[in-house]
Amino acid sequence: MTRYLITGATGMLGRDLQDALAGRDVTALGRADLDVTDQDAVTAAVAGHDVVVNAAAYTKVDDAESHEDDAYAVNARGAAVLATAAVAAGAKLVQVSTDYVFDGNGTSPYAEDEPTDPIGAYGRTKAAGEAAVREIAPDSSWIVRTAWLYGAHGPNFAKTMIRLSGSHETVSVVTDQVGQPTWTGDLARQIVAMLDADAPAGIYHGTNAGQGSWFDFTRAIFSEAGLDPERVLPTDSSAFVRPAPRPAYSVLGHDAWSRAGIPPMRDWRDALHAAAEAGVLSA
């Protein structure tokens, strides 16, 4: 029987991974259970497992600009520590990464083999983690890049918009950042499908299909929640100046799934509807 280890297991994706792997032999370790930068602790935790899914990450994008060392410790060194332990244990590793490894200046979906060129600290640390995993475990690792995540467990954009709808007559949301809203439930199931298919090692883009702006996403959230989407007003990024630059274009291509014989993830609007039906949008 395959034994799975999930790191970052108490986060939004980690919780959905536990659900997607229900009924299997799973060890789920959150941040309080395992410091992914501690090589001895990680080596001991990984021993005896066949697959490690690393959902542990420093994801505070703005804070990373002034705390890049802290982000690097988890996102880059932690990935290297896990890859080293996985190789030593003969285990395979799934490293969850991000659209922020790209500069966001594209106009067509980023291919899996596109060179990375991050524009901020968070993206730099995640790109370094990818590079470490590819170097240490090139034949026994999958890098799954994702973006614009929302889910049932933990704070996220969708829940924030629902909460704001209760206290604001209108919400202003940017139209000049385009990406792929992605339900962590779908992503978790896609990762499990990849593992079950024993897909070739390499890079995969784990985002729901299609594309939309944050404005489009918010109007869809309002519609699914039974709210008037006309309460969502368009604006642009100049209205929300933040420490970390945001990629303007975060649409990822999905060719690797087809090459592996695995259907890519469904359209983001279909996923959002299913998530709403499952009660995910409750604030």
Give the pLDDT confidence of 15-29 residue by residue, as tens digits: 999 999 999 999 999
Q: What is the pLDDT of residue 131?
A: 98
Q: What is the pLDDT of residue 277?
A: 96
Measured distance CA(253)–CA(1) in Å, rounded: 33
Q: Look over the chain and give the mean of its residue pLDDT values, rounded to a whole number.
A: 97
Give whole-number Cα distances, 81 to 4, 41, 69, 84, 264, in Å: 17, 10, 16, 5, 30
The pair of three-digit structure tokens given for residue 69, joined into one six-digit string? 């060392």
Give whole-number Cα distances, 265 to 49, 208, 209, in Å: 27, 5, 6
The string of pLDDT tens digits covering residues 234-275 is: 999 998 889 999 999 999 999 999 999 999 999 999 999 999
Q: Which band of pLDDT confidence, cut at 50, 70 and 90, is reported for residue 283?
A: low
Start-end of H helices in 35-175: 39-46, 61-64, 68-72, 78-89, 121-136, 157-165
Measured distance CA(197)–CA(188) in Å, rounded: 14
CA angle 159, 269, 114 (to 5 degrees): 95
Q: Which band of pLDDT confidence, cut at 50, 70 and 90, is reported for residue 140?
A: very high
Backbone angles phi, psi at 17, to 5 degrees: -65, -40
Cβ count near 122 (within 10 Å): 26
Which entry of 122, 150, 204, 249 is annotated as an active-site residue?
Answer: 122
- Give catalytic status of residue 204 as yes or no: no
Measured distance CA(30)–CA(10) in Å, rounded: 5
Q: What is the pLDDT of residue 196?
A: 98
Q: Which helix (H) or strand (E) holds 255?
A: helix 255-259
The pair of three-digit structure tokens given for residue 56, joined into one six-digit string? 């542990």
Measured distance CA(142)–CA(87) in Å, rounded: 13
Tokens 């370790």 correspond to what residue? 29
Q: What is the pLDDT of residue 183?
A: 98
Among 161, 179, 178, smallest CA distance to 170 is for 161
The string of pLDDT tens digits covering residues 159-214 is: 999 999 999 999 999 999 999 999 999 999 999 999 999 999 999 999 999 999 99
